[in-house]
Structure 1
Amino acid sequence: MTALQHKVAHLAPLAAAVRLCENLGFTECGAVLEFPDSGFSRFFEKKLSA
């Protein structure tokens, strides 16, 4: 495993979750796993060191 990836719903009440992800070093990326890029979600990943 070289990276952690996850999805955060893009709704105003979840803005805090987006900030948390960014503060923890996650960066935004394209759609992951089986989730479609619907415009209502944001996707993040964090590279793992060896």
Structure 2
Amino acid sequence: MIESALVDHIHEELAKDTQLTQFNQKVHASGEAKWMVGEALQEEVPTPV
């Protein structure tokens, strides 16, 4: 199973509030997306973002 920081953050928010009534629609950026795009560019792999 592949996990990401985003999935972890969503899980944490749901554990605190199952209806997400307090969720402010913002999630801390961990840099994973920036890293993925950089790797894709370096390896010349088409990557939709």
TM-score of the pair, normalised by structure 2: 0.29
Q: Based on CA coordinates, which of the two structures has the bigger radius of gyration? A: 2
The structure where helix makes up a greater share of residues is: 2
The structure where strand makes up a greater share of residues is: 1
* More contact order relative to length (CA 8 Å, sep ≥ 6): 1
TM-score of the pair, normalised by structure 1: 0.28
